[in-house]
Chains A and B, each alone.
Chain A
């Protein structure tokens, strides 16, 4: 599993970020990118020695200043779930193309196309 994929999946979750200078930032991750830059809201910043605290409504951290991040345990399950869905989808789409006419044809026959098409479309976007 790729660290940046885990990070991306941790969006909208609470995270802890420790910077190379020892400061830590606790907050909700709004967004991150492939450079590990992160945008946090409702942040508590703690000084290196852990003796001073600041509440910050919003902060943006450049990825290369980060030492490590901590993300909630359940995020890894979420990644696996999405992986699974993607794996399931790929052969399904291939099948869809191959057999597409099959169920489609049947769908036309019994007005079952209704279920198939929007369902697949939805998954495709997700």
Chain B
């Protein structure tokens, strides 16, 4: 209403989604609705670990992610993203959301 808070500007661009169970999923946003349900295309998951670097797991294909399972939707800056050295990044996985 009035303010442009929607995800419209992110449609068809690469986004990084943090889900309530602590996963990080990167994909192309194809659609969304009021409830923050998302359509994600060409997804992969970035699995963080404090022992090894970030592992990229291809999930592939089209996913419909339910809104109540979503915490953050981030616009991926491709330039920064390509500059990241993920295999050298060590971090514990994010904690799940606890309401």
Q: A interface vs B, CB < 8 Å?
A: 1-7, 20, 36, 63-64, 66-73, 75-76
Question: Number of B interface residues, CB 8 Å?
Answer: 19
Q: Is the CB of A69 within 8 A of B31?
A: no
Query: Top 7 closest A-B pairs, CB basis?
Result: A1-B31, A3-B37, A68-B65, A69-B64, A3-B64, A67-B69, A71-B62
Question: Which residue, of A63, A66, A70, A76, has the highest number of chain B Cβ atoms within 10 A?
Answer: A70
Query: B66 and A70: CB pair below 8 A?
Result: no
Chain B residues lying within 8 Å of A7, measured Cβ to Cβ, are: 64
Contact across chains for B68 and A64 when beta carbons are under 8 A apart: yes
Partner-A contacts on B (CB < 8 A): 19, 21, 30-33, 37-39, 41, 59, 61-66, 68-69
Q: Provide the main secondary structure of the chain A interface.
A: mixed
A71 to B37, CA, bound (A): 14
- CB-nearest residue of chain B to A65: B66
